[in-house]
A and B are shown apart, each in its own frame.
Chain A
Amino acid sequence: MMMLFDMIVYDLSAEYEAALIITLLCIIISFWAVMREREDLHRLILTELVEIMCLVIIALVATDLAEALILPGLVVGIAEFLALSELYIEKEGLRKAPENVLHIEVMDSAPGIIAVIFVIYGIILSGFTGGAVAGLGLLFYFMCRGSSEKREIIETVSGYAWACWVVAFIVFMAVPQYWFFGVIIAGAGIFAKVVAKMSLIGTMNGDGGEGDV
């Protein structure tokens, strides 16, 4: 085997040859698996095994260039995998219309209280973390209660956040001695901005419409 390989592939280190032979064995195993499998979905998953073997061959080169080549190889593999899974869903008619599957009693009563607690705690934390916490509360609220006419408020809040940033920026530039005032304004701005962004996620549960915040 080694002799045969020496004739085909030459000028190579012994390690590379050995690794290549092992990889070829793995490739044969994975091809064998794809060939034997009859179930469509399992075949799709097994092709991913073949893709990994492909990356292994590239990785065997073991230089910086190989590192740069693995990424496009991976992207191609994932792109084909995604396309094929979409195709499989379409082929088997597995696509369902989205519906609100999660609907339990707690989601009617709890959101108000929980959202208030989160927002107050978020205000105490302030800044980016506080924005995230308060936004989580609002996200939960909008997910449970729906979001038909509340989007304008979010947009308004987001607009005020921009205004806060601009004011803080002007303070920093024009009157640097009041930097603490600027920091407070910017912190409030980022708080409002993160809240607005995160609660926007809560409005995405399928009732259409897109707010530009």
Chain B
Amino acid sequence: MYNLPSPQIEGEILAYIPFGDIVYYFSPYTLVLFIFALTFTALAILSRPEKQVDIAFGGDAYYTKEIPEKQMRFQRFMAISCGLATMAGVTTGDIFNFTLLTAMVGICNIGIVASVKNKHVLDNAYEYGILAMIGTLPLFGAAAIILATTGTLSLWEIFTPAVSVPVIAKALLVIGVIGEGMAPVYVAKAEITRAPGAPYVLMIHVSSLLMFLRVVEIIISM
């Protein structure tokens, strides 16, 4: 019943899960992305936070920083939510659903970054938050223009050759996903890869990367 119109891009369809008119699907491409997201979510659930080592100058002493239980729990929760949003985002079959899940990934990333109580890190999280908020405009704008021009939001319809999507909508979609997935830049700027709570920061990179890969697939197919 459901067949991908252009199997040369991402392979033949393996499975689909219909939720009303939103039909999630697994092709070899999205399955790989899904497994990737699943693995890192499992890592976020299982792993303990890394403790940063500080060396006291003038002696041999060194000590590890304590990570507050509350901060650890919050970061883990945000990382798991981010993983779930990513898993749904890479398999969804509806363009508006995809934009919503991308926005959710953005919010979760803000949460992961912002849980570190440090002025410098919080400043960067704030900058990223502003960017992510502005990024929702091209994101939803693209979905709305696609709806206006093609009359549908379902990727199954949009992928068919009969339906052509305006270039401006594609461009806006890419810009929006870039805006939401800009978190790793701010992570690098604030150097929180080495800050307390390191394993959860990985989820920011993974989710952004997977969303980029998925939007490439969507753009090429439509």
Residues of A that sit less than 8 Å from B by CB? 8-12, 16, 20, 27, 31, 34, 40, 43-44, 47, 50-51, 53-54, 57-58, 60-61, 65-66, 69, 72-73, 76-77, 79-81, 83-84, 86-88, 90-91
Contact = CB atoms under 8 A, between A and B. Distances in A.
Interface stretch (B54-62, B128-136, B203-211): B128-136
B134 A87 contact: no
Contacts of A34: 130, 134
A61 B126 contact: no
A69 B139 CA distance: 13
Contacts, number: 106
A194 to B, nearest CB: 37
Interface in B131-166: 132-134, 136-137, 140-141, 143-145, 147-149, 153, 166
A76 B103 contact: yes
A57 B141 CA distance: 6
Given A80-B103, A91-B123, A66 B144 contact: yes
Contacts of A76: 100, 103-104, 107, 136, 140
Main secondary structure of the interface of A (DSSP, over half): helix
Nearest to B138: A54
B133 A8 contact: no
B111 interface: yes
7 contacts: A8-B167, A20-B145, A54-B136, A66-B144, A76-B107, A80-B106, A86-B114
Contacts of B129: 80, 83-84, 87
Contact of A12 (B111, B141, B149): B149
Contact of B149 (A9, A58, A72): A9
Given A8-B166, A80-B103, A83-B111, A44 B140 contact: no
